[in-house]
Amino acid sequence: MTAILRLSGILILLCLACLAPATLVWAEEDNRTVPVGTVVQGEKEDPFTAPEKFPPLPRSSDAGWSPLGLGGAGGTYNPSFSPFDPGLVLLATDMGAAFRSENGGRNWELIHRGNGLYRMHYSTKPAFFREKIYWPRGRTHELRYSTDKGLNWFALDATVWGKSKIQAVCALPGTPDVLLVGTEDGLWRTDNHAVTWRKVNDGPISLLADSGRAVYAVVGSGQLISSADRGNSWAQGMTLGDYGEVRAMAASAAPDGETLLLSTEPSGLILSSDGGKKWNIIRTPYRDETVLVIPPGQTRCMYVAQTGKRQNRELFKSEDSGKTWKSVFRMAGSGVIFSEKANVDVSWVQTKLRWSYYITRNGLTVDPMNSNTLILTTQGDIYRSDDQGDTWYQIMSEHTMQNGGEKFNTSIGLEVTSAWGFHFDPHDPTRQYISYTDIGFAYSVDRGRSWVWSAKGSPWTNTFYDVSLDPAVPGRLYAAASQLHDIPYDNFLRPINPKRPIHTKGGVVLSEDYGINWSVPYRRDAENALPAQVCTTVALDPKSPADRRVLYAGVFGEADDDHAGVYKSEDGGRTWTRKSEGLGHLHRPSGMRNLHIYRIRVHPVSGNVYCLITGLRGSSAEISYKIPGGLWRSTDGGETWADISGGHNLVWQSTAFCFDPKDENIIYVTAASPLRRWRQGGLYRTIDGGVSWERIFPRDVKKDKAGYHLMSVAVHPEDPKLIYVGDVHNGLYYSDNFGRSFKPYASYPGAPIQSISFNPMNFKEIIVTSFGTGVWTAPYLPLK
């Protein structure tokens, strides 16, 4: 009698005739109490033969999208070679996105956001079959699969383990293919592409490894179980004695034997050559390595490394089953004293930022089709070796030499950081600039083809939130720089605390040489200096004298125990005066005034000054998103301010604004939907200078699923009917009918979008900057 457990209603269990007789049982809908041996219905039909659930997502390169930037500069995780497709590599990043490569990392492609691969640095490594790949979505219960080498991904219709989080997956290719999934509550097996699943073990499964002879699983943190029949039955209770908690596992077999390697706490590495019956402690340089790799088909060669630690950063290799070890990843200038010379050709992150590094979780992979090839990931770089670790080279950008020997970097698709703006030099069309999170600033001298990091001289190099270029003086740029990043995202809208050093590091910096060098234009200890605090925006009045530029800067805070507000300089940034009369709303019980200033702009025709104040997330419900922000205007050079958006839902977490290019009275403001103000965000517009406002996207709360968390807006400079908005979750949208309706620009692969602009030399080119996936450029309208 075939057993099928249905996922809805009251679930009836029947038992397979081939199994021991079982009593009819009842189960919870999430299947956590399902007995071992129960077969559960999964997919309704074989995903290989079923019709496509959704049409394939457009490939960004086919739709005209190209990445721009330095490459890398974010954490990379879980590098994984396919054992079936030469050169196919999957990669996760700490900014949420996932990437794929078809040539072993020499070029990368961002996996489209519509595939739902979010927070993949929390995931396990994927499970590869010849025609299919499985990959858990982050640290969740969701399992996604691809049938086209990782281009498109789909969620399983049914996750038979309910909401139990996936902690390990293991592919056992063969006839039939077998997939094992270890969750917080049990071990599941399918041999028919997830049409049915059988629970084969209880308890939390933390690790899975296949040696080629046997499959091993760790239950909880200390019990090792094994299967010699491809996960169908399991030998229970191989205890590890006093070795302690198991934190990592690797296994491999060859004709002459098998090796099982575990990392334990507190005992360090232990090795077994007989399937776990006997163990030997392996002496390693650091003892607590948690990156363990044994090349497939080998038993004596192994690689180990610590992860997440800046003190012990070497990769070690043994070729005699752990008896001796040698360091095989040695980066010069990293603060480590090596017995041999450095063997890593480092990335620009190390030569320019001098970040140092640490190896990330699951940060090493060996190509199963060529064990000479390895890829290693760090918090900032990614490296490849073609000689078993003897030498390494970076694979996050290409190098070119310009400007008298300066090394520039060209994107190969692996853009792994956030950008706030893309800026064109008004005097030299070959020069372009990017303002970044984490890495500050970069410039290009060849129309954006190659880039070099350039925040030298700025005391604050983490984030350049805003840049203002002088339209009359070639080479002069002003920037708002801070060490605190990611404003105006929710997590970074808490009150400023002057006792926290990171909250006191920010200000305006000046460059007189096209962004190559920077300095603070004022004496930082003077009474008329800009306060030492988070600075998010700077704006230049183009009508002011070129030798006495009028500037406005936004200092972020609450004006209770800090110095938040709008500041004005009338001498090119040398001295500053607070100009915040009437600006921001006061919350009398707390004494806080919402002066979370995010953007200031001077209208080029009228000279009116506009200030956007974003949300204030407090430490209590009394304060959190209760003090409105919104859009404010000054018609007298900042002497007084008027709230022009009060009473509308855009004020709770405003994120961007822009003017209609032909009419100052038409203003667009984007907003997100913060805590307890769900679905209040969107795109708001006034056509009467702020007297009245209307939300034009989304329009129908019951029908519209996108648009509630917008971060950016732009109006085409030559066609005001064309309006663009960037959605945190859903990418790029545009309207070609003055906002009556919006359509997705579906081929844009990333999200969220932090700014939208146009190439002033070609208004048919759009430039998008993003959170975590760098800068992208494309035709201003989707290709047909």
User: Is the pLDDT score of 523 beyond 60?
Assistant: yes
Cβ atoms 762, 448 nearer than 8 A: no
β-pair type (215-219, 244-254): unpaired
Q: Where are the domains of the chain?
A: 455-659
Task: Identify the band that residue 185 occupies on the pLDDT scale cut at 50, 70 and 90.
Answer: very high
For tokens 């200390």, name the residue. Answer: 222
**Mind giving me the DSSP string for 96-151?**
S-EEEESSTTSS-EEPPGGG---SGGGS---EE-SS-EEEE-SSSS-EEEESSTTS
Residue 348 has what DSSP assignment?
H
- pLDDT tens column, 725-784: 999 999 999 999 999 999 999 999 998 999 999 999 999 999 999 999 999 999 999 998
Question: What pLDDT is recorded for position 41?
Answer: 82
User: Is the pLDDT score of 14 beyond 80?
Assistant: no
**Mind giving me the DSSP string for 559-579?**
SSSS--EEEEESSTTSS-EE-
Average pLDDT over residues 30-57: 70
- pLDDT tens column, 634-646: 999 999 999 999 9
- pLDDT tens column, 199-210: 999 999 999 999
- pLDDT tens column, 378-418: 999 999 999 999 999 999 999 987 767 789 999 999 999 99
Backbone angles phi, psi at 58, to 5 degrees: -65, 140
Task: Identify the band that residue 106 occupies on the pLDDT scale cut at 50, 70 and 90.
Answer: very high
User: Is the pLDDT score of 2 beyond 90?
Assistant: no
Average pLDDT over residues 695-707: 90
Question: What pLDDT is recorded for position 491?
Answer: 92
Task: Identify the band that residue 16 occupies on the pLDDT scale cut at 50, 70 and 90.
Answer: very low
What is the distance of C-alpha 453 from the center of its chain?
A: 20
Average pLDDT over residues 711-720: 98
Question: What pLDDT is recorded for position 512?
Answer: 98
Residues 93 and 108: their CA atoms lie apart, in Å, by 13
Instruction: For residue 78, give the H/E element and its range.
Output: strand 76-81
Least confident window among 57-66, 101-110, 245-254, 539-548: 57-66
Residues 420 and 435: their CA atoms lie apart, in Å, by 6
Q: Which of 27-36, 99-108, 583-592 has the highest mean pLDDT?
A: 99-108
- pLDDT tens column, 646-656: 999 999 999 99
Cβ atoms 778, 756 nearer than 8 A: no
Residues 724 and 320: their CA atoms lie apart, in Å, by 60
User: Is the pLDDT score of 50 beyond 60?
Assistant: no
Question: What pLDDT is recorded for position 47?
Answer: 59
- pLDDT tens column, 433-482: 999 999 999 999 999 999 999 999 999 999 999 999 999 999 999 999 99
Question: What pLDDT is recorded for position 370?
Answer: 98
Question: What pLDDT is recorded for position 56?
Answer: 80
Residue 301 corresponds to which tokens in the numbers above?
């060669």
User: Is the pLDDT score of 20 beyond 60?
Assistant: no
User: Is the pLDDT score of 273 beyond 70?
Assistant: yes
Question: What pLDDT is recorded for position 37?
Answer: 84
Question: What pLDDT is recorded for position 520?
Answer: 99
**For residue 186, what are the contacts with CB-CB under 8 A and spacing of at least 6?**
32, 34, 36, 161, 164, 199, 201, 202, 203, 205
Residues 258 and 297: their CA atoms lie apart, in Å, by 9
Cβ atoms 626, 587 nearer than 8 A: yes
Q: What is the mean pLDDT of the chain?
A: 91
User: Is the pLDDT score of 31 beyond 90?
Assistant: no
Question: What pLDDT is recorded for position 272?
Answer: 95
633 vs 288: which has the higher pLDDT: 633
Question: What pLDDT is recorded for position 308?
Answer: 66
Question: What pLDDT is recorded for position 32?
Answer: 57
Question: What pLDDT is recorded for position 705?
Answer: 86
Average pLDDT over residues 491-507: 95
Question: What pLDDT is recorded for position 42?
Answer: 82
- pLDDT tens column, 332-351: 876 565 668 899 999 999 99
CA angle, corner 553, sides to 548 and 557, nearest 5? Answer: 155
Residues 110 and 398: their CA atoms lie apart, in Å, by 17
Cβ atoms 208, 170 nearer than 8 A: yes
Query: Which residue, among 128, 140, 141, 148, has the nearest Cα to 56 in the 3D structure?
Result: 148
Question: What pLDDT is recorded for position 58?
Answer: 81
User: Is the pLDDT score of 15 beyond 70?
Assistant: no
- pLDDT tens column, 118-163: 889 999 999 999 999 999 999 999 999 999 999 999 999 878 999 9
**What's the count of helices (H) and strands (E) in the chain, helices before strands?**
1, 63
Question: What pLDDT is recorded for position 336?
Answer: 61
Residue 493 corresponds to which tokens in the numbers above?
């809208």
- pLDDT tens column, 236-251: 777 787 899 999 999 9
